[in-house]
Chains A and B, each alone.
Chain A
Amino acid sequence: MKDHNINTIKLGVFVIAGLVLFIATLYALGKNRNLFGTQFELRTRFRDVNGLLVGNNVRFSGIDVGSVRSVTILNDTTIEVVMNVDRKMKKFIRTNAQATLGTDGLIGNRVVNLAPMSGNAPFVQGGELLPSREEINTQQMLETLSRTNESVAVIADELLGTVQRINSSAQLTRLLSDESLSDNLKASLVNLNRATANAALLMDNANETLRLASQGSGPLATLLTDTTLSAELHRTVRQLQAVEANAQQLALDLDQVVRTVETDYRQGPGPVNALMRDSLMTLRLEKTLENVENGTAAFNENMEALKHNFLFRGYFKKMEKRKKKEMK
């Protein structure tokens, strides 16, 4: 009888253990599917759900917060997904949260990902239709990859051609094999460094000048702030303007004179026309000048003779002495 009781207790423990494990399994599965918590409903719409099933997980920022309650086709381009989400998430999910379809791992189940967006949208209350974004599916990825591969092939071909041209270029080969190139390059870099240092110095000076100018000292500040200089400059400018006006008047007068001369030269009865165009007049003038030269020579002889005349000899000697004194 005692053995029977012990065996019954053992049996009870055995059965209870089995039942507890079974119930715990069911509870764990239900908890994973959020069947036991209080939930609220959210909706979203996709063009293609890519195999999303009722019961698939819903994630908010990567955390499991619910599951898909229903997947309903509304028309040929719209499928509505209704989600059950844990009520605790109401204070985190905003109405502008974006729904996308994803995969649990590389080959796992489909999931609906809710991603928070920027902006200060109100928090969800239940039943809202969240905006969705279509994901890039594998086929689209492969198509893009194929296009990229084709582009890469073209680039590789062109690169190959470029490299071949570089390899076959004698000038480039000579340039690359030129040992003095590195020295020249080094010298150029030294010069460049020096130029940079000079430029830096120049900039420092300019900065210093500007700094002084901003403080009101230095020649630039004087130039910029001296009111008398400004007045002088204004006056100079005005004078320059007056000079310019005079010059213009002068140019006009000259123009008038030139025109008069030109008129005289061409047709006028004046001396210019006669001087320039009358050949007889020219001959007369030449003759007159010849007479003048001859007269002048005769006058010089008379003067020389006068110097030796005893009446004027004293005067000329005085003059010579004065000249010598002045020379000393």
Chain B
Amino acid sequence: MTIKIPDATREFLNDAGELSRFAGRFFYEGLRPRYEVREFVRQCYVVGYKSLPLVGLTAFIMGLVLTMQLQPTMVYYGVESQIPAMVGISIVREIGPILTALIFAGKIGSSIGAELGSMKVTEQIDAMEVSGTNPFKYLVVTRAFATMLMLPVLVVIADAISLYGSFLGVNIYEKTSLLLFFRKVFENLEYIDVVPAVIKTFFFGFAVGIIGCYKGYYSSKGTEGVGHSANSAVVVSSVVIFILDLIAVQITDILT
């Protein structure tokens, strides 16, 4: 007796299995010499440094808007002075990492998916194999490592920019010094707020990189497949980021 599995489910499970195998191969290839350091550094520059303007702008606006939206309610309850504490905890624990990861997935996930997809379609990956270069090591390992290491850096910088935006937001309604604002932020932060929030961004970055690479690496159906790879890389990365965030929050709760 055979069980009839719906096509969509079969495709989903197949994708999940392939992605797991792809991730396993990443660790296998990544930890073995030879290391593509030069390409890794280049990818770090592309996925990290070049994402900074977009991430920074988004974070700044988010900090500013969050403060402006909170201000009337906090004034209503007479706890206006707690805005730095509240915004600080919100940004550092959740908004900073998740927003940066989503922006990062939109920009870098689609970029990696489209780039590798077009290379696959134009058979450049096959050509690399023929020429003796390990395309997985050169294309996938470097990108996935770069995303995994650059996203935490981006998140820390984005948090700082976002808090500065919040500081400007507070100064729209009342005058406060930068030192006092950040002192209030840090008075209400704990290690348990900062460290897990940064650690989970390594997983977010890894998810964005590995999914983008997977979708591009196994792209098909010509130019249409390239677009599909880019699109699905962003969608799947975003969903996985939320799932990972949920798990991270649960683990953090257990630890505290």
What residues make up the interface of A, taking CB atoms closer than 8 Å to B? 4, 7-8, 10-11, 14-15, 17-19, 21-22, 25-26, 28-30, 32, 55, 105, 107
Q: Mark B37-55, 1 if CB is under 8 A from A, else 0.
A: 0000110110011001000
Taking a contact as CB atoms under 8 Å apart, the answer to whether A14 and B42 are in contact is no
Cα separation A196 to B152 with both chains bound (whole Å): 88
Cα separation A25 to B186 with both chains bound (whole Å): 8
Number of A-B residue pairs with CB-CB distance less than 8 Å in the complex they form = 57
- Say yes or no for B190: interface residue by CB 8 A criterion: yes
- Say yes or no for B65: interface residue by CB 8 A criterion: no
Taking a contact as CB atoms under 8 Å apart, the answer to whether B186 and A28 are in contact is yes
Binds A, one of B18-26, B154-162, B242-250: B154-162
Taking a contact as CB atoms under 8 Å apart, the answer to whether B189 and A14 are in contact is no
Closest CB in chain B relative to A65 CB, distance in Å: 15
- Say yes or no for B62: interface residue by CB 8 A criterion: no
* Chief secondary structure at chain B's binding surface: helix
Cα separation A10 to B48 with both chains bound (whole Å): 10
Closest CB in chain A relative to B104 CB, distance in Å: 14
Q: Which residues of A contact B126 (CB under 8 A)?
A: none
Taking a contact as CB atoms under 8 Å apart, the answer to whether A10 and B49 are in contact is yes
- Which residue of chain A lies nearest to B192 when distances are taken between CB atoms in the complex? A55
Taking a contact as CB atoms under 8 Å apart, the answer to whether B198 and A22 are in contact is yes
Taking a contact as CB atoms under 8 Å apart, the answer to whether A8 and B41 are in contact is yes
Q: Kindly identify which residue among B41, B156, B191 contacts A22, using a CB–CB cutoff of 8 Å.
A: B156
Given known A4-B42, A11-B41, contact A18–B157 (CB-CB < 8 A): yes
Q: Mark B71-90, 1 if CB is under 8 A from A, else 0.
A: 00000000100100000000
Q: Kindly identify which residue among B45, B157, B186 contacts A8, using a CB–CB cutoff of 8 Å.
A: B45
Taking a contact as CB atoms under 8 Å apart, the answer to whether A14 and B49 are in contact is yes
Q: Interface residues of B, CB < 8 Å — how many?
A: 25
Top 9 A-B residue pairs of the complex, sorted by shortest distance between their CB atoms: A18-B153, A11-B45, A28-B186, A14-B49, A7-B45, A18-B156, A22-B156, A21-B156, A21-B160
- Which residue of chain A lies nearest to B51 when distances are taken between CB atoms in the complex? A14
Given known A22-B156, A22-B198, A29-B189, contact A107–B79 (CB-CB < 8 A): yes
Given known A7-B49, A10-B45, contact A19–B153 (CB-CB < 8 A): yes
Q: Mark B168-201, 1 if CB is under 8 A from A, else 0.
A: 0000000000000010001101110011001000
Q: Which residues of B contact A18 (CB under 8 A)?
A: 152-154, 156-157
Given known A14-B52, A15-B48, contact A32–B153 (CB-CB < 8 A): no
What residues make up the interface of B, taking CB atoms closer than 8 Å to A? 41-42, 44-45, 48-49, 52, 79, 82, 152-154, 156-157, 159-160, 182, 186-187, 189-191, 194-195, 198
Taking a contact as CB atoms under 8 Å apart, the answer to whether A15 and B186 are in contact is no
5 A–B contacts from the bound complex (CB under 8 Å): A4-B42, A11-B44, A11-B48, A19-B156, A55-B190
Cα separation A18 to B153 with both chains bound (whole Å): 5
Q: Which residues of B contact A28 (CB under 8 A)?
A: 182, 186
- Which residue of chain B lies nearest to A106 when distances are taken between CB atoms in the complex? B79
Q: Which residues of A contact B160 (CB under 8 A)?
A: 21
Taking a contact as CB atoms under 8 Å apart, the answer to whether A26 and B152 are in contact is no
- Which residue of chain A lies nearest to B198 when distances are taken between CB atoms in the complex? A22
Taking a contact as CB atoms under 8 Å apart, the answer to whether B157 and A32 are in contact is no
**Further 7 A-B residue pairs, CB within 8 A, beyond A11-B45, A17-B153, A29-B189:** A7-B49, A8-B41, A11-B41, A18-B157, A21-B159, A25-B189, A28-B186
Taking a contact as CB atoms under 8 Å apart, the answer to whether A29 and B194 are in contact is yes
Closest CB in chain A relative to B95 CB, distance in Å: 16
Taking a contact as CB atoms under 8 Å apart, the answer to whether B49 and A32 are in contact is no
- Which residue of chain A lies nearest to B182 when distances are taken between CB atoms in the complex? A28
Q: Kindly identify which residue among B41, B79, B157, B187 contacts A17, using a CB–CB cutoff of 8 Å.
A: B157
Cα separation A32 to B85 with both chains bound (whole Å): 14
Taking a contact as CB atoms under 8 Å apart, the answer to whether A11 and B49 are in contact is yes
Q: Which residues of B contact A107 (CB under 8 A)?
A: 79
Taking a contact as CB atoms under 8 Å apart, the answer to whether B157 and A7 are in contact is no
